[in-house]
Amino acid sequence: MLIARLLVFGSLGLALLALLAYMITGDLRYRRFGVILLKWTILAGVGFFVVLIGMNIWDAA
């Protein structure tokens, strides 16, 4: 659980740093990287919570 949290928050932080670098420099590579990383981080977080909810439902049945 701790590893999953660290990975999610670490990748969120990295995406925010990339978007901040885009705002400072105006280089489109940083924006593209930040948006892609943010998208995959959100998908991974949703997948993690789906598995967590599924495990709770499985244990309750």
- Domain span at residue 8 reads 2-60
Which two tokens mark 45? 């977080």
Q: How far apart are CA 30 and CA 18, in angstroms?
A: 5
- 22-49 b/e (C-beta count within 10 Å ≥ 16 → b): beeeeeeebbebbeebbeebeeebeeee
Our count of domains for the chain comes to: 1
> pTM value?
0.79
Q: How far apart are CA 4 and CA 15, in angstroms?
A: 16
1-58 pLDDT, tens per residue?
A: 788 889 889 999 999 999 999 999 999 999 999 999 999 999 988 998 999 999 999 9
Place of tokens 């997948």: 47
* HSE toward the beta carbon, residue 59, CA cutoff 13 A: 6
